[in-house]
Amino acid sequence: MTDPTCKACQYSWPKVDHFIADLGLSKAYLHEDQFFPGWTVVVFKRHATELFHLAPTERIQLMEEVNLVAKTLAQVYEARKINYELLGNQLPHIHWHVIPRLAGDPAPLEPVWRVQHEPMLRSGSDLQSTVQPLQQAIQNASGITNRRAPH
Amino acid sequence: MTDPTCKACQYSWPKVDHFIADLGLSKAYLHEDQFFPGWTVVVFKRHATELFHLAPTERIQLMEEVNLVAKTLAQVYEARKINYELLGNQLPHIHWHVIPRLAGDPAPLEPVWRVQHEPMLRSGSDLQSTVQPLQQAIQNASGITNRRAPH
């Protein structure tokens, strides 16, 4: 269920202070680079690398969890479009990038990967002021009352 | 259910000769640029732009159709990894990019969008020799017997 060589299984990524919510089969974290505001990653809890490796019930639940995050980000950020990406080229452990594309997007027609930029890292109160509204919005949307530590 | 300004609704994209399979709620087509061999697009039949705009039953079925295509591409191309992307930045009509990343990939750690290249277009017998094995493999995997014209 876990892979000792996988940084998602070993909880070294994403960072714990970026935790947003435990969704059931997955956990949502704010992406470390907030150049695109609201970029969130949804990390499957157990080690798996492809959707077709999951049991159908797992796959369905995971996608409903991704959908909940997407809907919440669209509302909180008034997004023009959501990008949903499961790549795994560098870290095969299933994690979805859920990226709200906003009205002020610097390259609205392009995938985020084509937009060269300096990473916008957040920490401390700046990070918390981004994470907390998302925690609250997902809690409201899902009825999640579990606020325990993420790991 | 259709948008007169949408090229997916108006059947001007993807090209009809790239048709692979009618999956139920969506249709699969070979992507016009085959620089990454096997790149397939799964186009939702009716006009919708976000996963959370779909009824849960539609969303679940669509994702099972995407999953079927991913599993088939992984087998046919012996892929190292599958990339799954729903972007819609240029064409908001829901279409999934399902991209097998192969052993000989020129940039295995990068999203495809970062790999500059000349598009590799296929036509005629060259196109058919790529499409037909995928048609057969998806037919075998899904039990689809419907081989009617795609539109």
CATH of the domain at A82: 3.30.428.10
In-domain check, residue B10: no
* B66 vs A contacts (CB less than 8 Å): 51
- Å from B9 to nearest chain A CA? 19
Q: Which domain holds residue A129?
A: 16-105+118-140
In-domain check, residue B57: yes
Choosing among A44, A84, A102, A112, which should be mutated to test the B contact, i.e. which has the most B CBs within 10 A? Answer: A84
Specify the DSSP class assigned to residue A58.
H
- A50 and B74 in contact by Cβ < 8 A? yes
The predicted structure's pLDDT at residue B151: 54
| DSSP H or E segment with residue A78 | none
Q: pLDDT-derived band of residue A144, with 50, 70 and 90 as boundaries?
A: low
Nearest CA in chain A to B102: A89
- Å from B125 to nearest chain A CA? 31
In-domain check, residue B151: no
Residue A145 has pLDDT above 60, yes or no: no
B66: its two tokens: 């995407």
CB B133 within 8 A of CB B10: no
Q: Give residue-wise pLDDT tens across range A61-94.
A: 999 999 999 999 999 999 999 999 999 999 999 9
The predicted structure's pLDDT at residue B144: 57
In-domain check, residue A26: yes
Measured CA to CA in angstroms, residue B51 lies from A125, B42, B90 at distances of: 32, 14, 17
Choosing among A36, A61, A85, which should be mutated to test the B contact, i.e. which has the most B CBs within 10 A? Answer: A85
- B88 and A83 in contact by Cβ < 8 A? yes
When divided into structural domains, chain B yields a total of 1
A83: its two tokens: 């990008």
Residues 6+ apart with CB under 8 A from B92: A81, B6, B49
Q: pLDDT-derived band of residue A146, with 50, 70 and 90 as boundaries?
A: very low
Specify the DSSP class assigned to residue A99.
E
In-domain check, residue A87: yes
Q: Which of B89, B88, B41, B90 is nearest to B69 (CA)?
A: B41
Q: Give residue-wise pLDDT tens across range B91-118.
A: 999 999 999 999 999 999 999 999 999 9
Q: Which of A89, A85, A100 is nearest to A42 (CA)?
A: A85
Nearest CA in chain A to B72: A52
Average pLDDT score over chain B = 94
Asked which of A28-32, A56-60, A147-151, B138-142 is least confident by mean pLDDT, the reply is A147-151
A51 closest CB neighbour out of B51, B84, B110: B84
In-domain check, residue A146: no
Phi, psi of A61 (to 5 degrees): -65, -40
In-domain check, residue A8: no
Average pLDDT of the segment spanning B25-43: 98
In-domain check, residue A2: no
